[in-house]
Amino acid sequence: MTGSTQKKRYEGFEGRITWLAFALLLALAGLCLRLWQLQVIDGAQYADQAENNRLMNEPLKSPRGVIFGRDERVVLADNRAANDLVLVPALCNDPASVIETLNQIIQIDKDALLAAIANAEQRKAPWEQIPVKRDISRTELTLVEERSFALPGVYTVARPQRRYYYNQTAGQLLGWMNEIDLDEWKRLKPRYSMGDVTGRSGLEMQYEDVLKGVDGAMIVSRYNGSVPQLKTDERGNAYVEMDSKGRELEVEERIDPVPGGSIFTTLDIGLQRECERLLEGLTGAVVVLNAETGEVLSMASSPGYDPSIFVTNSPNRGQLVTATLGDKTKPMLCRAHEFHYPPGSVFKVLLAIAGLEEGVINEHTTFGCSGKFYLPGVSRPWRCWRLKYGGHGGVAVVDALAYSCDVYFYNVGLKLGAERIKAWSSKLGLGVQTGIDLPGEVTGLIPDPERKKMLALKAGKTEPWYQKWYPGETVNMSIGQGEVVTTPLQNAVLMASVLNGGRRVRPYLNMELGPQVSEPLFSEETLRIVTEGMRKCVARDKPAPTGTGKEAKIEGLDILGKTGTAQVAGLQHVKHYANEEDIPYELRDHALFISGVTDRSPRIAVSVIVEHGLHGSSTAAPIARQIYEYFYLNRPDEPGSASVAQPLTIARREVGQ
């Protein structure tokens, strides 16, 4: 009885065994399912990862695209093989001795190199390539090769390096380059790698996507914890034979780099060089356009810079780069399209066109000039530059352009009004971007009443006198002063429209873009009148007063022109100087001149500005004359020049007919 009622010693054991067996079966099933997923479902993915861990892409840098002049005979920018000197510690019997020998030959940073060797040894990477010096010169390369017996483990690796053939010539148009930073790399990868360079201005920046090639790669087997060592043979071809720990490697696949695309420019390199020569010692800009197409034949700016300093490893490279970037004269900016200036009397060409087209004047409309102009109710007069000679007397539009009568255009401006002046300025390319294929173009400004009101409200100035547009502002505007500012390139576009029959051109540098020309924007009658005034401006064979642009006259060429003197400082700041040469440089007026030739092909439109040059007649016009002498009369026979035809059959062909 007692035995039948006593509890079993392992009561419930069978149930626990059952549950344990079930749990083991469940775990085994999960493991099998996981193995199925890893090996069957995701097998290909993990196989690729394993293969990628075994392989390494060693990049092969692509050469950047070439920038040509007008044809293949003129290379503005291409690439050369730069030799970087490297050292492999494992191949040196005595690294310290090798470094001492190197320093005697080419002068290196010994301490930095010894520290790099020590770091490689600490990381157990004695076969790692340690950079010694980038882009060594031919002389240095020869010296190293001559002493190669004493330099075990030292050799060169080649890579493409940007080269600018003409140094500073057209430097601002080509632009400069430097390496991308970490933030840029994160944004631009995978096309870019750390250490890659990119254009920062000019054509190098504008056409970065075209010029930048596609890097190739060598797919190399590798061992864990090591880095393949890239070398180049005597022809500059890259190869890999070992890693940073000295183990032999195999190249399993090679993908050759794709070079960047080339660009042919419209630049006449001889003319560009001549324009820059004419600006030597001055601050300013010269633009020369093909008036029919908008091709930029030259766009010079002074001071300039040599883009080579940013890519060439010279001993004083750092000092040159720092000095150029910090130069207060701003040589990094092209004054032709990245600066704007008051156009001064150059703006009168626009006023004449607008006044004739709007019907507020005609060829015979006359205004009297005594040297002063008064607005009703205003006691202060507006002066004409000929005040001390008693003014110009009664003048019509042709003589007003030829002699640059301020009073005449004060009257025209008031009749037109600021709104119509603004509209015609925009139509003919002043105060608006020209569309040139270069970064950094500034817009300039042609003010108007609506803009003034908007700015006043934005500044919280609600009083009506802050928002009102006054007639005096229109008077200032009428001779290209006040708030009016344009670029030398915009002035050249205006001049081109006078030469080509009233059409506005889009200036361009890349030949592939081709011309973009509008329909005629003003009548042939207006064109005839304005052309006559601008021709008379340059003529010398007239009785006094002669045209203000007479210093640009060349016998045998039919030259049109318009001078400009842009006021920099108010009269109260300079009136106490007896002679204008005594005026401090920074207070002197800017000198401008726009001009063109009508009886030669191609017809070129020329825009010149000399900062603080005092007068367009005496400073800017002679520069234009020398450009015409070079381009049409004394041109040397050199490659990449724009072809110049003989004089047109009609000696004085009227533009637009």
Which range, of 7-21, 307-321, 625-639, averages the lowest pLDDT? 7-21
Higher pLDDT, 47 or 564: 564
State whether 233 and 355 are in the same domain.
Answer: no
Question: Each residue of 227-250: pLDDT tens digit?
Answer: 555 566 555 566 565 555 555 666
Contact yes or no for 595/495 (Cβ under 8 A): yes
CB 449 within 8 A of CB 567: no
42 inside domain: no
Segments forming the whole domain that contains residue 420: 300-306+334-633
| pLDDT: which is higher, 609 or 237 | 609
pLDDT of residue 225: 52
Q: Which range among 25-29, 247-251, 298-302 has the greatest average pLDDT?
A: 298-302
- pLDDT for the residue 7: 53
pLDDT of res. 312:
79
Judge if 355 and 229 occupy the same domain. Answer: no
Q: What are phi and psi of 343, to 5 degrees?
A: -75, -15
Average pLDDT over residues 340-352: 97
CATH, residue 518: 3.40.710.10
pLDDT band at 650 (very low <50, low <70, confident <90, very high): very low
Q: CATH number, domain at 135?
A: 3.90.1310.10
Q: Is the pLDDT of residue 651 over 50?
A: no
pLDDT top residue among 122 and 557: 557
CB 606 within 8 A of CB 595: yes
Mean pLDDT of 456-485: 92
User: What is the arithmetic mean of pLDDT over 248-262?
Assistant: 79
**Residue 284 located in a structural domain:** no
Distance from chain centroid for Cα 43: 52
pLDDT at 103: 84
Domain contains 46 = no
Calculate mean pLDDT across residues 215-229: 64
245 vs 505, residue with greater confidence: 505
The answer to whether position 78 is within a domain reads yes
* Chain length of the chain: 657
pTM (predicted TM-score): 0.83
To 10 degrees, what angle do helices 418-427 and 471-478 make?
30
| pLDDT mean over 4-19 | 64
Tell me whether residue 286 is in a domain: no
My answer on whether omega of the bond before 303 falls inside 30° of 0, hence cis, is yes
Instruction: Express each pLDDT in 187-205 by its tens digit.
Output: 888 888 877 889 999 999 9
* pLDDT (mean) for 620-625: 96
> Of 462 and 471, which is predicted with more confidence?
471
Tell me the pLDDT tens digit for each residue of 378-390: 888 999 988 878 8
Q: Are residues 245 and 365 in the same domain?
A: no
Q: Does 13 reside within a domain?
A: no
- Give percent above pLDDT 70 in the chain: 86
pLDDT at 656: 36
Higher pLDDT, residue 317 or 416? 416
- The whole-number pLDDT of residue 653 equals 36
Both 260 and 338 in one domain: the answer is: no
283 in a structural domain: no
pLDDT score of 478 more than 60: yes
Q: Residue 657 — very low, low, confident or very high, per pLDDT cuts 50/70/90?
A: very low
Q: Regarding predicted confidence, which is higher, 433 or 90?
A: 433
Give the separation between CA 85 and CA 157, rounded to whole angstroms.
Answer: 7
Number of structural domains found in the chain: 2
The band of 222, judged by pLDDT with boundaries at 50, 70 and 90, is low
Share of the chain above pLDDT 90, in %: 51
Q: Given a cut of 70, is residue 535 above it in pLDDT?
A: yes
How far is it, in rounded angstroms, from Cα 444 to Cα 483? 10
Render 19-58 in DSSP notation, one character per residue: HHHHHHHHHHHHHHHHHHIIIIISHHHHHHHHHHHHEEEE
| Same domain for 257 and 362 | no
Mean residue pLDDT of the chain comes to: 86
465 and 366 assigned to the same domain: yes
Do 410 and 519 belong to one domain? Answer: yes
Residue 447: is the preceding peptide bond cis (ω within 30°)?
A: no
Q: What is the pLDDT of residue 519?
A: 97
Q: What SS3 string covers 518-569? A: CCCCCCHHHHHHHHHHHHHHHCCCCCCCCCCCHHHCCCCCCEEEEEEEECCC
Model pLDDT for residues 128-147, shown as the tens digit of each residue: 777 788 788 888 888 887 78
**Are 426 and 571 within one domain?**
yes
**Do 494 and 619 reside in the same domain of the chain?**
yes
Q: Are residues 462 and 559 in the same domain?
A: yes
Please report the pLDDT score of residue 173 as a whole number.
97
- The pLDDT assigned to 67 comes to 97
Provide the pLDDT confidence category of residue 448 given band limits of 50, 70 and 90.
very high
Please tell me whether residues 218 and 350 are part of one structural domain: no
3-class state of residue 365 by DSSP: coil
Give the distance between the most distant pair of CA atoms in the chain: 155
Residue where one domain finishes, among candidates 238, 264, 290: 264
**Span 27-34, average pLDDT:** 82
- What is the pLDDT averaged over residues 253-274? 92
Whether residue 645 lies inside any domain: the answer is no
List the 251-255 sheet strands across, edge first.
55-60, 216-221, 251-255
Residue 75 above 80 pLDDT? yes
Position 257 confidence tier, pLDDT thresholds 50, 70, 90? confident
Average pLDDT over residues 74-86: 87
Tell me: do 345 and 232 sit in the same domain: no
- What number is the average pLDDT over the span 284-313? 94
Q: Is the pLDDT of residue 253 over 60?
A: yes
